[in-house]
Amino acid sequence: MAAAGESLTPAGDMSPLQQAEEAVAALYDFRDHYFERHSLEEAALKVEELKKQLDNVMQLLDSINDQVDNKSVYLMLRGKALNVMPQFDQASLDALSKAVKLDPKLVEAWNHLGEEYWKNKDVEAAKNCFLGALNHSKNKVSLRNLSMVLRQLGKDPAERIKLVEESVEKAKEAVQLDIKDGTSWFILGNAYLSMFFAENQNPKVLKQCMSAYAQAEKDSVANCNSDLHYNRAIAYKYQEEYQLALVGFARAAALDPLWPDPQEKEQQLVSYLTKVQDMVDTKGKTKGKKLQTMISEISENHLGVYKGGSYTSQSGKTIDLAYVMLQDLSQEINPGKVVLGKVVCTVTTEEPVPFTFCMVDSADTCCAVTLYNVAPGYGVKIGDSVAIPEPYVQSLDVQYGDMTFHYLSIRVDSPVVLVVNGRKLGLDKQAPSVLGVSAKSE
């Protein structure tokens, strides 16, 4: 293995093509194992150092051009070497295109060609390359890359859901071919995350997603992939595990300081927590007299269908509910209870998910409410009375530098369970939340 600054150009008694193969393999080893030989403080230098190593390899490839008989493999190695960089490279695409024309059975060339098309945002061409590779050999690289591609296709919601399901199956196949490959586990985690948001947000699917990410993290190569930590942080944020989300965004930013998204997400989350904390502490900055007036207007009549100790669910089952104060709630789910309060503020954020507001109850207790899967343009407003049945409660406790966030929060996964101003909300107020995986890899 080469250390920092050393040439990756091999020496010894090898044929020119063998020298090229060794040099390109060492180039990828340098990229994939960079943080096993360098500190995080050197992360910003990774692309620059990788470019220097690439230049050395290209010099070698240029020097042996006339000595190689197998032009298809030679061209594949040129294209593969250039594909080591994160950005699209036309010379790489040209070399790889020539390689597969000369030898259509070169699976590795098909895979690298597909990756170049992917970088150039030509999704259909990328798909055809990975399918072409699989026609010759079932391999983990084609399968997991195809999994990524499939999630970008589909003309309507039904077709997109079908393709996401197929994406999961392709990623599973890749994992089965090499269960120790963390990159395949990472792609499977992304596929599950996409499925979670595409199909009814089944908690089991999100659990499978996080399990796949945990498997990926065991692999030193995948664990040094900023995308892994970024995407898992997105999932943590959705689960309101904000401490873990902040750690994930920070890790992604440290691994790739030149990629702005992790730092932006980290700061957006800190800003969000700061705003919510302030709004809970000040009860929406509502003045004393106005606040007391709002509290005095809270009436059990605003419980709507939840008034009277029970209600009938959509399945026809009778659900017993006791009207209680916020201070009477326990952590996590509160079966058989309903709370009622007045909206004192909504929290404006850069991201629409979740829709967040604060409410106070008759005992003058204030809490935050995070509302998911809300139809665009809908949200409660200040002064609304909101009833929440069987609330899921969290006492959030997050530490960030010298900042501490600690407040009571209720999570509501669908607006249709709410009663607002005495009326139960309809399905027209519901729409699925859409969160995507890393902009770099997906």
- CA–CA distance, 246 with 403 (Å, rounded to integer): 13
Q: Is residue 435 part of a domain?
A: no
Judge whether 359 and 344 are in contact, CB under 8 Å.
Answer: yes
Q: What is the CATH number of the domain that holds 166?
A: 1.25.40.10
Say whether both 181 and 111 belong to one domain.
yes
Say whether both 183 and 224 belong to one domain.
yes
Q: Which of 228, 254, 273 is the last residue of a domain?
A: 273
- For 78-113, write each residue's pLDDT tens digit: 999 999 999 999 999 999 999 999 999 999 999 999
Q: Is residue 245 part of a domain?
A: yes
- For 333-343, write each residue's pLDDT tens digit: 999 999 999 99
Q: Which of 245, 273, 301 is the last residue of a domain?
A: 273
Q: Is residue 44 part of a domain?
A: yes
What is the span of the domain harbouring residue 425?
A: 284-429
Say whether both 265 and 297 belong to one domain.
no
Q: Is the dihedral of CA 108, 114, 116, 119 positive or negative?
A: negative
Q: Is residue 322 part of a domain?
A: yes
Structure tokens at 171: 């990623």
Say whether both 182 and 253 belong to one domain.
yes
Alpha-helix runs per DSSP H in 178-287:
182-198, 203-217, 220-223, 226-238, 242-255, 260-281
Say whether both 288 and 269 belong to one domain.
no
Question: C-alpha distances in angstroms, 395 versus 248, 381, 410?
Answer: 21, 24, 9
Number of folded domains that form the chain: 2
Say whether both 250 and 307 belong to one domain.
no
Say whether both 131 and 230 belong to one domain.
yes
Given a cut of 70, whether residue 12 has pLDDT beyond it is no
- For 342-363, write each residue's pLDDT tens digit: 999 999 888 777 999 999 999 9
Say whether both 206 and 253 belong to one domain.
yes
Reference 407, options 375, 435, 366; nearest CA is 366
- CA–CA distance, 321 with 311 (Å, rounded to integer): 8
**pLDDT at 7 (0 to 100):** 46
Say whether both 265 and 290 belong to one domain.
no
Q: Is residue 104 part of a domain?
A: yes
Given a cut of 60, whether residue 59 has pLDDT beyond it is yes
Given a cut of 70, whether residue 304 has pLDDT beyond it is yes
Say whether both 200 and 261 belong to one domain.
yes
Say whether both 269 and 237 belong to one domain.
yes
pLDDT more than 70, % of the chain: 94
Say whether both 341 and 398 belong to one domain.
yes
Q: Is residue 125 part of a domain?
A: yes
The chain-wide mean pLDDT, for the chain, equals 92
Q: Is residue 439 part of a domain?
A: no
Q: Which of 223, 247, 273 is the last residue of a domain?
A: 273
Q: Which residues contact residue 118 at a Cβ distance below 8 angstroms, ignoring those fewer than 6 apart?
A: 126, 145, 148, 149
- CA–CA distance, 249 with 266 (Å, rounded to integer): 6
**pLDDT at 320 (0 to 100):** 87
Compute the average pLDDT of residues 133-162: 94
Q: What is the CATH number of the domain that holds 316?
A: 2.40.50.550
Q: Is residue 228 part of a domain?
A: yes
